[in-house]
Structure 1
Amino acid sequence: MSDERSQGVDFGELGDELENHDYPATAEELTEEYGDWTVEYNDGEETLSNALEGVGVDEFQSAEEVFETVMMMVGEEATDEGHSGRGAGTAPDEDTDSF
């Protein structure tokens, strides 16, 4: 996964480390081992520790679960690809029937 940007998130060498880690693993275990490693996304970066903080996942069964969780936790900063108007103008009008 190194050097691969998935949905706007670049795990770099951390991706390889996570793929080679023994699973299942808790967020606490991953934070202790890799918490200072940086995950980069379109508008910034964040440590793995910050990305996993408060995820509510007791145990990860695979690296893929970690990747998916981090992608969800970094939010629009990663996946928006720089389009700040996503969803703008799409709220339904209160007087319009929805199908």
Structure 2
Amino acid sequence: MAEDRQGREEHADREEERQQERMQEEARSRTDEEEPIRADSGERLGDLDEALETHDYPTTTDKLVEAYGDYEIETQGGTETLDEVLAATDNKSYDSAYDVRRQLLELIHH
């Protein structure tokens, strides 16, 4: 009987260790997930947010600047035009409004 009790305790200990390992693995796998677009992206991007929805994709940085370069975006330091925000980037390709928003929000938050 003592062996059964000890065996159950060892089994429970191993199960707890496996659970801990599963939780750590899950946490590691989540670091690769994309961060969701912040709910305030429409506020930060102003009228540009709606314009991006109706733009034809795929598109490039150059085409976005040509079409919307004067649109103002709220940044941590005030406001900047789309042209100013994207000035530091190379000419990239974007497949959707989501991709453009993600790029812009990364640029204005850094």
| Structure-2-length-normalised TM-score | 0.57
For the residue of structure 2 that corresponds to 1:67, the secondary structure is: helix
Which residue type is aligned with residue 21 of structure 1?
Answer: H
Of residues 66, 71, 82, the one that matches 1:48 is 82
2:44 is the counterpart of 1:21: no
Of residues 27, 40, 53, the one that matches 1:5 is 40
How many pairs align? 72
Aligned CA-pair RMSD: 2.1
Which residue type is aligned with residue 5 of structure 1?
Answer: D
Which residue type is aligned with residue 25 of structure 1?
Answer: T
Structure 1 stretches of at least 4 aligned residues deviating more than 4 Å after TM superposition: none
Structure 2 distance, partners of 1:34, 1:65, is 16
In structure 2, list runs of 5 or more residues that go unmatched: 1-38
Partners of 1:55 and 1:73 within 8 A in 2:
no
* 1:24 Cα deviation after fit: 0.4
* 1:42 Cα deviation after fit: 4.2
Structure 2 distance, partners of 1:48, 1:28, is 11
Which residue type is aligned with residue 49 of structure 1?
Answer: D
| Structure-1-length-normalised TM-score | 0.63
- Greater helix percent: which structure? 2
For 2:98, the equivalent position in structure 1 comes to 64
For 1:86, the equivalent position in structure 2 comes to none
Partners of 2:76 and 2:108 within 8 A in 1:
no
* 1:57 Cα deviation after fit: 4.8
For the residue of structure 2 that corresponds to 1:10, the secondary structure is: helix
